[in-house]
Amino acid sequence: MLQAVAPLPVQIYAGPLAQGAPTRALASFAAGLRFEDIPGPVVERAKELLLDYLSTVAAVAKEDPAQRLIRFASKMGGPAESRILGAGVSVAAPWAALVNGTMGHMMELDDTDRKTMAHAGDSLWASALAVGERQNASGAEILAAAIAGYEVSLRIGESVMPDHYRRGWHPSGTFMPFGAAVAAGRLLGLDAQAMGWALGNAGAQASGNFAHLGERAMTKDFNCGHAAKCGVIAALLAAEGFTGPTDVVENRRGFMALYGVNVHPERLTAGLGAHWRVMDVSQKAYSGCRYIHPSLDIVTALQKEVGFRPEDVKRVVCRLLSTGAGLVNDPVPWDGSKGLQGTRFSLHFNIAVALQMGREGLWSLLDERHPLQYRDRPEIRAMMARIEVIPDAELDKNFPDKWSTALTLELSDGRSFTREADYPTGEPENPMAREDLLRKFDILTEMAGWSRDKASGLPPEVARLDRASDLSGLLTFL
With CA atoms as reference, report the closest residue to 128 among 46, 52, 183.
183
* Domain of residue 223, residue span: 22-280
Q: Domain for residue 447, yes or no?
A: no
CA angle 292, 297, 298 (to 5 degrees): 100
Q: Domain for residue 319, yes or no?
A: yes
- The domain boundary, picked from 280, 300, 327, lies at 280
Q: Domain for residue 11, yes or no?
A: no
Residues 67 and 185 in one domain: yes
Strand order in the sheet with 416-421: 387-391, 313-320, 405-411, 416-421
8 A C-beta contact, residue 85 and residue 58:
yes
Residues 108 and 172 in one domain: yes
Q: Domain for residue 330, yes or no?
A: yes
Residues 264 and 336 in one domain: no
- The domain boundary, picked from 280, 314, 346, lies at 280
Pairing between β-strand 313-320 and β-strand 387-391 as defined by DSSP bridges: parallel
pLDDT in tens, the chain (478 residues): 444 444 444 444 445 555 569 999 999 999 999 999 999 999 999 999 999 999 999 999 988 899 999 999 999 989 999 999 999 999 999 999 999 999 999 999 999 999 999 999 999 999 999 999 999 999 999 999 999 999 999 999 999 999 998 899 999 999 999 999 999 999 999 999 999 999 999 999 999 988 887 788 888 899 999 999 999 999 999 999 999 999 999 999 999 999 999 999 999 999 999 999 999 999 999 999 999 999 999 999 999 999 999 999 999 999 999 888 988 999 999 988 888 889 999 999 999 999 999 999 999 998 888 999 999 999 999 999 999 999 999 998 888 889 999 999 999 999 999 999 999 999 999 999 989 999 999 999 999 999 999 999 999 999 999 999 999 999 999 9
The C-alpha torsion from 396 through 399 and 403 to 408, rounded to 10°, is -20
8 A C-beta contact, residue 195 and residue 25:
no
Residues 181 and 294 in one domain: no
Q: What is the CA radius of gyration of the chain?
A: 22
CA pair distance 139, 465, nearest whole angstrom? 5
Residues 79 and 37 in one domain: yes
CATH number of the domain within which 365 lies: 3.30.1330.120
Residues 110 and 237 in one domain: yes
Other C-beta atoms closer than 10 Å to the C-beta of 463 total 13
Other C-beta atoms closer than 10 Å to the C-beta of 3 total 16
Residues 258 and 371 in one domain: no
Q: How many domains does one find in the chain?
A: 2
Residues 126 and 200 in one domain: yes
Q: Domain for residue 443, yes or no?
A: no
Residues 194 and 343 in one domain: no
Q: What's 280's DSSP letter?
A: G
Spatial CB neighbours of 431, under 8 Å, sequence gap ≥ 6: 283, 425
- The domain boundary, picked from 254, 280, 306, lies at 280
Q: What's 63's DSSP letter?
A: S
Q: Domain for residue 455, yes or no?
A: no
CA pair distance 259, 299, nearest whole angstrom? 37
Q: Domain for residue 159, yes or no?
A: yes
Residues 252 and 401 in one domain: no
Q: Domain for residue 217, yes or no?
A: yes
Residues 233 and 163 in one domain: yes
Cα 24 from chain centroid (whole Å): 26
CA pair distance 471, 117, nearest whole angstrom? 30
291-314 in b/e form (b: 16+ CB < 10 A) is: bbbbbbbbbbebbeeeebebeebe
With CA atoms as reference, report the closest residue to 158 among 206, 208, 113, 207.
113
Residues 299 and 274 in one domain: no
- Residue-level pLDDT at 19: 57
- Which residues on adjacent β-strands are paired with residue 90? 83
CATH number of the domain within which 67 lies: 1.10.4100.10
